Amino acid sequence: MPDFSPFFPLIAIILGVLFAVGFIWVATKLMWKVAEPNEALIISGLTRGTLDTRAGMDFKIVTGKGALVLPGLQTVRPLSLHPE
């Protein structure tokens, strides 16, 4: 029976990299929010102003695309674009 003990560190490194890539993929998938065709997403939190000018908007409006939302730091609210 062959001795595979020299390969254990290599196997551990490969498994660690696969776990890290999987974790990053799942985290990104959970934080990525996409607006439906008939709605806009209003993302608030984490101001977009700079240190020099804080007069910028305190929210971001996303229509027709996606945005990365940090849970706990940002909130997302959908806004319907149907005329009523």
Query: pLDDT by residue (tens digit) across 12-43?
Result: 999 999 999 999 999 999 999 999 989 999 99
User: Which residues in 36-66 are b (16+ Cβ under 10 Å) and which e?
Assistant: eeeeebebeeeeeeeeeeeeeeeebebeeee
pLDDT, residue 24, reads: 97
Tokens of 2: 């062959």
* Phi, psi for 72 (deg, rounded to 5): 90, -25
Enumerate the β-bridge partners of residue 60. 43
**Strands 66-68 and 39-44, sheet pairing:** unpaired
Asked if pLDDT for residue 50 goes beyond 60, the answer is: no
